[in-house]
Copies of this chain bind each other. A is one copy, B any other.
């Protein structure tokens, strides 16, 4: 006969901590704590198998389950000296669900199970606390009615409000409480039937309610989204009650073995005298700090004026302190512990790995290694790579009051507050006056770069995770929320609507780019840790284990230097677009676009040359000894012309052409689908002068910096290739210009020529393309968009609904699409290498900083990834995870 029930108590335990899938996380923890001799109230766990059996058999318990449960119950009675349903000395239970992974939407807790009209009297007599007993009964009827019998909680609340007349229930008299219990039972009788008096029936109903909740809508949805199988089941934990609310000698609390915000190695926690656990959790009472070292708010400040547990109950505190150390050593990780003190006796109700801020996570694992508790490899495994990005950004003070007015996509983490402005020029004006601004736009374009640079954060109504705003903001390391369709921007009236809020120019808002939330007003933020010591240590350990190299996307010398500081071992993508937006270059570029013949175009481009050369000089200097991959011009030419009608005549005048001529050119260059238009190498083929000028600037810069004694390693990259002949042609052009420059300077610099692989056809024909390439760099942004057939600028229109309806979980622009896009990347890598074994393979899309992507790119044998500087630490850790096989 199967074992459906596992007992624990008084140092004896049928199960242990390794049996998570059978006993659930909570059950395994209780078994383990009991096993190692910690003071855990006795109880038993009904296994996840029982739950699965129950579902497979239309709600029938497996043979023997109930008998085993009765035996376990007898054992608890023995261990506690109390009896279930006994009118003199009643044993009461808490009943909790507990799957291997915690799951929102599953049944939480029923306390005080076993109380009825008789046992309540016994509890009162035995404890000598009639108010306590009747208040416990009141709580039980409400909880049981709500979570087991599924009667709307508000109906009970109304009764309590009516009868308590502004007092706390436990301040009422016994008679008042008895009357309240009668009314509450009447509610149950009204909806469900007479309140079940038989404790065994109560237990059976509660166990079944736990089972049922496993198949509730929210839990099912959560499993689907997280790829948790539907047959993992939930366990049911039935544990004898202890009471923290039996007078001033009783208490309850939650503690952490280290500070969960900073990671500092200080025992930290909160407690409440004469209270039950839910009072701490619900936040209805203000708890006190357990000690003066840890403080009450995680910052280590003295908790002035508050009574600590250490002072109130020194012996119990010492015992708790000893136990928490033991638990941390046992679990080899920071623990989050629930405890109750019943009339001076300490009980532990739960322990689990404590949640922590990203910064604390890093600090804790590094400390644990230094304390000899875990290995370097374990430290690496334990930190979620994506959390590292958050370590570098300010976060919202979790204790501040917030009014959320909208939510968009979490494009670039970090929190920022500032005055709303709608135009880049205004952002600059206000920033010049020292004000913090948030730039709010329908979407941004390259002309907004300056304004974005001056803003503390960016909010756009349109666009996805790799929209212009998102990409640029991440590059700048600036908080950014995009695709916020809940706001309605009205440039004309200089305001935006968000639900029932109207936010005008100059009003303060706060955005959290890590969650996509937009809040009213100014909310204090916490600065990121200035000391990156622990992170530096962790990443050094990671680098030793990683095979995949990490480069950064950086467009300027400053970016490059920053990337290098963050550990990038090269630039994987230097976009050259911005160099054309420098005012002198932009004017020349516009002249070039309006020119009719090659000579005039070349003349205009000659004005751009020194500007680009200077930019490349700065980048090459910053990257001495490291490779720099430079992408030749990618966007369509119309991006360099004014896109607002009112600007056209101004620009035309500035260029000395008729407004009509400029309008005509704009019309000619207009594209229905600019993403799929005349851009990338298509410009290189049709207007070779542009690429030639860029190549000349690169090579001249390389020669100049090389003569300074620096090691320059330029890699010239041709974007948007879909036909081998395009690359063949562009490569020839690049080589001709490069060799010409080197001959003029009578110098020699090694350079490579390669291509972006960012169109599906380039993947399919990778072998033929490889014949003309020294390297491939997968542009996974465009590749993802083309493979799915959606544009990042427009996907917001349906993607949120897709996520809400459960069609897809993550945006494939944020989390790499291994099944679809991945198959194409793998095909291309294999074909490319087969045709050209020395081919260097990298990634320069945003997925270079996405752990899912990094793992995949490691697995298919790519050489490097490149990402925004602020994601370099993420990628370095993810690369180590990939090498260690961490999923």
Contacts and interface: CB of A to CB of B under 8 A. Distances in A.
Interface string A695-733: 000000000000000000000000010110110010000
Contacts of A677: 790-791, 794, 797
A761 B782 contact: no
Contact of A722 (B673, B686, B788): B788
Contacts of A791: 671-673, 676-677
Contact of A676 (B686, B785, B807, B820): B785
Contacts of A802: 682, 685-686
Nearest to A680: B789
B824 A764 contact: yes
Interface in A641-686: 669, 671-678, 682-683, 685-686
Nearest to A462: B672
A824 B676 CA distance: 19
A817 B760 CA distance: 13
Given A673-B794, A758-B789, 11 more contacts: A669-B797, A671-B794, A671-B797, A672-B793, A685-B801, A686-B801, A761-B789, A761-B820, A761-B821, A764-B824, A768-B819
Contacts of A817: 761
A787 B807 contact: no
B788 A759 contact: yes
A827 to B, nearest CB: 9
B720 A678 contact: no
A805 interface: yes
A2 to B, nearest CB: 36
B722 A789 contact: yes
A315 interface: no
Interface in A714-763: 720, 722-723, 725-726, 729, 758-761
Among A676, A726, A729, A782, the one with the most B-chain Cβ atoms within 10 Å of its Cβ is A676
B673 A793 contact: yes
Contact of A805 (B676, B685, B768): B685
Interface magnitude class on chain A: 35 or more
Interface in A819-853: 819-821, 823-824
B682 A798 contact: yes
A59 to B, nearest CB: 27
A790 B672 contact: no
A546 interface: no
A764 B794 contact: no
A280 interface: no
Given A676-B675, A789-B722, A685 B729 contact: no
B797 A678 contact: yes
Nearest to A672: B793
Nearest to A678: B797
Among A674, A797, A821, the one with the most B-chain Cβ atoms within 10 Å of its Cβ is A797
Nearest to A807: B725
A186 interface: no
A733 to B, nearest CB: 12
A60 interface: no
Contacts of A159: none
A172 interface: no
A808 interface: yes
A203 interface: no
B722 A676 contact: no
A765 interface: yes
A786 interface: yes
Contacts of A797: 669, 671, 677-678
Interface of A: 669, 671-678, 682-683, 685-686, 720, 722-723, 725-726, 729, 758-761, 764-765, 768, 782, 785-791, 793-794, 797-798, 801-802, 805-808, 817, 819-821, 823-824
A764 B760 CA distance: 11
Contacts of A720: 789
A221 B805 CA distance: 55
A729 B807 CA distance: 8
Among A760, A817, A821, the one with the most B-chain Cβ atoms within 10 Å of its Cβ is A760
Nearest to A485: B668
Contacts of A787: 722, 759-761, 764, 786
Nearest to A677: B794
Nearest to A790: B676
Given A677-B791, A759-B789, A787-B759, A686 B798 contact: yes
B789 A819 contact: no
A419 to B, nearest CB: 25
Nearest to A788: B722
Given A675-B673, A685-B802, A726-B807, A823 B764 contact: yes
Contact of A808 (B674, B725, B786): B725
Nearest to A675: B673
Nearest to A664: B488
Contact of A824 (B678, B726, B760, B808): B760
Give the top 7 A-B pairs by smallest Cβ distance, nearest first: A676-B791, A673-B791, A760-B760, A672-B793, A759-B789, A677-B794, A761-B820
Contacts of A788: 722-723, 759, 761
Contacts of A793: 671-673
Contacts of A669: 797
A492 B485 CA distance: 37
Contact of A674 (B673, B682, B726, B823): B673
A821 to B, nearest CB: 7
A761 B723 CA distance: 20
A794 B638 CA distance: 13
Contacts of A808: 723, 725
B807 A723 contact: yes
11 contacts: A671-B793, A676-B785, A677-B790, A678-B794, A685-B807, A723-B807, A760-B787, A760-B824, A761-B817, A764-B820, A765-B819
A248 B729 CA distance: 59
B678 A676 contact: no
A673 B794 CA distance: 7
Given A677-B794, A678-B794, A794-B673, A820 B789 contact: no
